[in-house]
Each structure stands twice: as structure tokens, then as C-alpha cells.
Amino acid sequence: MNFLQKYNEWINSKVINEEIKNELILINDNKEKEDRFYKDLEFGTGGLRGVIGAGTNRMNVYTVSKATQGYAQYLSNHFENPSVAIAYDSRNMSREFAKATALTFVANNIKVYLFEDLRPTPMLSFTVRELKCQGGVVITASHNPKQYNGYKVYGQDGGQITDETAKEVIGYINNLDIFADVKTVSEEEAISKGLLKYIGEDVDKVYIEKVKSLSLRKELIKEKAKDLNIIYTPIHGSGLMPIRRVLTELGFENLNIVKEQEKPDGNFPTASYPNPEDKSVFNIALDMARESNPDIIFGTDPDCDRIGVVVKDNTGEYKVLTGNQTGMLLAHYMLKSLSDRNELPKNSAVIKTIVTTEGVRKIVESFGAELIDTLTGFKYIGEKIKEFEETNSNSFIFGLEESYGYLAGTFVRDKDAVIAAMLITEMALYYKEEGLTLYEALVKLYEEYGFTQEELISIELQGKEGQEKIANCLDTLRKDKLTEVNGVKVAKAFDYKLSEEITYTLDKNIDNCNQAEAQESVTAINLPTSNVLKYILEDDSWFVVRPSGTEPKMKVYLSVVGSSLNDSEEKLNNFKNAVMDKINDILG
């Protein structure tokens, strides 16, 4: 069935409501019709995610309910009397999608615990474990622009479902007719059957206490917390309640909320891109800072799983830290604090993704801990934590990814900006008592462990043509093996789609040695397959190219090592230009 046939099927369906039909009827552009119907919305690294609207390639109650029906069939086939927890954030249609999800689960005789109001994604992960559910769903598009929403699926361990489970769930979904096969009931029937229960404060209390239990400097906080000046913005999202509650209960009295961004609002009126990676979301907070001179500023995205940090640099100007920089600081702070207390297990492990800074490696190893790499996506970090518990191989200390996601503790199995906010605040207090800002502490880490610099380039490529360009770029890079970048030879290439790690032994005596003149040794990569390419150069610089799993973008990650901050920044700029010249040549 082509896209026009699918379009007409929706127009003529007796199931589709009039509001959706009218939206479709008003579309005159065939390109727009094609983009809405040329495929079904697919699971990526974060589950379903897409633009809100009518069509098979859009987020609406029909595509959400179809995904739920498929997941319900998976749960019913694997568990006896399964139950699920459901949460949602502040985005447009989040509440409606959450309720539609709940009613489809109930129609399949699955008990549902639905939060009474918006909650952060990590609280959903916690709730699945706390209520001993077999699955979970959170309705969120994380940090995407306002036109997006999403649907993230969780397993009984509280982690996002990983590849094997996702493949099976997708199989169930793909075998469904979006209208004939999807079940639902009324809310009244769901409650009367005892299969829909609304939850709130009881779960909140347990979660808040567990977050506070992760504090590493309780005596310091007790004595000095009131001295720290903090500005926090929830960026119109779900983080306000738990973060304010955790910090105030610990004794951080001087917590100032950005009023203009305090209330949940799916239109994000002050931040068109509600992502703490985007410096502009801190503009209002920085205006406040000129009056209040805070020690630290931070902000969380709409579902409160990512956190961005702003600190004063050595000139007195406020600087937005990268996700890698905050991750390095947190990893060092946690390892040092545990070591100071003689509480660092001998089999300690820190987990990062393959696109996250290598700058953390020397830090971790200096404490005798192990650094483990996973594919991009925090679900793989959650999967490793589960593996540690099953094999007793390592003690999980900290997980980090460059996209501003962090986790400590094991009662949550996804990145958690509530936990991170508490640890970052405590860390800022610790360094303040040491006479240092967080920026000065970061510089000390660079001086001790090496000056690494990283950057992420996101190339937006919309629609079917955009997806084809991304696929072609990866295929071309894979076929035309890179010899060098910016005059530096490639030492290793990692192809995660083919599960191959290629090491090149280059003959230093041959001028302009190319890959044909080098000896290749190929070893297998013991990670799930993914359409990702990574190149490590002889000077330890590296870059990664991959399609985004949640947005119509191709992402290019870059990293260099320099002899100083200025040197590393200059090297990064030159390296970026050289890599992007190659990428842009392919994209055309």
C-alpha cells in the first residue's frame, strides 16, 4: 500500500475522529502526505518519537495505541498477570497519550499504575522496580522541539528495553492493523475492573529518600548547604517538584527558580529547543545571575533525565559546561569521595558510551576502577548494570553519556537529572569549601589527566530524502575506507554495523603510506550491531558518525587531545573543519 492509499484509508476510516480527518483533508501538498504516510513510526534508541499529528509516521493516539497493543501482547506472552507503570511529562498531548496507553493495556487485562500528574522519566524507571511491574511506558520526547512527542518502553528491570526485546515487540506491532486489532476500554470501565490505579505521593516519598541517600558529603551539607547560592530552571518541564524537594530537604535553602520557566508548558514559550545542551535556554537564568551572583546554575530538560550546568570561568564570566565536562567532574568527585571514605569497592566500574569523552578514562583508572564502553543510548548502560548484578562481576559507581545524561545508584536504570542535580550541587559546595569554582576544578582535572576537547555536530536532514542521504553517507564512508584526516593517519576504524574493529599497522618508513600499504588486523566487536562508524587517529583524536535514533539528524562526534586548553581548542577547530569537509562532500 503506497502513501496515498494509506492517506485515503485514514480519511475514510470509521475509527478516525473528525479532528484528525480534518487535519488530513487540509493537506494539499503530496510531499507532506508522503512524509506522514510513507512508513510507520519506528522504534529508535529511545522508542517511538516523532512529530505530533495525523498519519502513520506521526505521534497520535492511534500510533501510540498500536504500539501499546504490540507491547501488551509481548507482556501477556511472557508473564502471567503482568502489570505496567506509566508516566508522562509536560509536552503537548502527553497526558492524552498516557491515558490512551493505559486504556489499551487494561483492554488486554494488564494492570496499570498511572501517575496522577507529570513526573520525570527516571521516576518511571524507579516505579517499575518499586511496584514490581513487568513493564513501563513514559510519554516524552525528551529534549526535542515542541512539535515532537514520544513513547519510551521499559522492561521489568526498570531499564529501557534493549535490542532483542525491542525486536520482538516490533514484530508484534508490525503484525497489527492500526484500526481492527487495537483494543481499548473507557476509563470508567478500567477503574471499575480494578485494573487502573492512579499513583503519586506514596511513590514520590520513597524515590526522594533514595535520591537523598546517595549524598556523599552529608556532614558538609548539614553544616554548609545554606551557604550555596543556586539558580535552577526546569525549562517548563517535570523536574521542579523532585529537584526542589530533594535540595530543600537536604538543607539547600538558597535555591532560586527561574520563574519564567517554572510552570510546565508544552509550547516551551521561552525555549524553542528545550534542551540544556542549547546555551540559549539559560539566557533568563544568566540575567538573574547578574543580580544574585550564584555559585552554580543548572537546568533540566522536559522529562528531567538530562541536566546542563553553568559555572563561572577564571575570568568571572559564566560558561556552559559540555556534557563531557560535567561527566568528568562527576566521575572524579564520586570516585574521590568514595575513596576518601574507604568505601570504593575493588571491582568498581564506570560506564560510558562510545561517543563520550576519553578524558574520563585516566580519571577512572587512577582510582583502580574499570571504564566500560557501550553503544550510544543509556539503555545499554542500564543493561550493563543488570549484567553486573547477575554475574557479580563489577560494582556500578557511575554512568555517563556526552548528551548530558548521568546516573549513580542502581534503584533507577536510566539517566536521572534529579540524582545528578543533587550530586552536582553537593560537588559545587565541596569545591567552594576548597576555594574553587567548578570551572577551576575542571581545569585542575585537565592539568592532571590531559586536555581533551570534544564537539558534537548535528546535521538536520528532514523527510524520506533526508533519511536516504544519511544512509548513503554512512555507506559511502564504509565503502571508501579513510586513509587520513587533516594529515594524520587513521590507526583504528570501528564498524559497529559489521561488528568489526580494524587496526592498521602503518609502515613509518613509507612516505604518504596509504591503507593498501598497511597491515590490517580485524577483530570482532562484542556489542550489539548499530549503524555507527568510529575512527581513531594516530594522535588520539577521533570522530564518530551515526544517524540519530530520535531525530531526523546525522550526528558527528569529534574529539582531540592537546597540550593546553588553547592548544586543544585550536586542534579541535582544525579537526572539525577537516572532518566536516569530508562529510559535506558526501552529502553534496
Instruction: Write out the catalytic residue numbers.
Output: 142
Q: How far apart are CA 30 and CA 44, in angstroms?
A: 26
Say which residues have a Cβ less than 8 Å from residue 27's Cβ, sequence separation at least 6.
33, 36
Residue with cell 537523598: 212
Q: Report the C-alpha dihedral over residues 491, 495, 501, 507, rounded to 10 degrees.
A: -30
3-state SS class at 78: helix
Q: Which residues are within 8 A (CB) of 71 and not within 5 positions of it... i.e. 6 or more apart? A: 135, 137, 153, 169, 172, 173
Q: Which of 342, 339, 336 is nearest to 430 (CA)?
A: 336
Longest dimension (CA), the chain: 80
Q: Is 285 helix (H, G, I), strand (E, B) or coil?
A: helix
> In this structure, what C-alpha cell is assigned to residue 54?
495525523
Contact 172, 73 (CB under 8 A): yes
Place of cell 511529562: 89
For the residues of 396-424, what is the DSSP string, one character each? Answer: EEEEEETTTEEE-SSS--S--HHHHHHHH
Query: How many degrees, rounded to 5, is the angle at CA 91 between CA 86 and CA 97?
Result: 45
**d(Cα 496, Cα 165) in Å, to the nearest integer?**
19
CA 71/CA 329 separation, integer angstroms: 39
Distance CA 503, CA 148 (A): 41
Query: What is the dihedral angle through the alpha carbons of 48, 49, 55, 57, rounded to the nearest 10 degrees?
Result: -80
Ranges assigned E (strand) in 156-289:
196-199, 230-233, 255-257
CA dihedral 273, 279, 283, 285 (to 10 degrees): 100
Cell numbers describing residue 57: 509516521
When computed from its CA atoms, the radius of gyration of the chain, rounded to whole angstroms, is 24
**Residue 178 DSSP code:** T
Residue 207 CA to residue 205 CA, distance in Å, equals: 5
Do residues 11 and 54 make contact, with C-beta atoms less than 8 angstroms apart? no
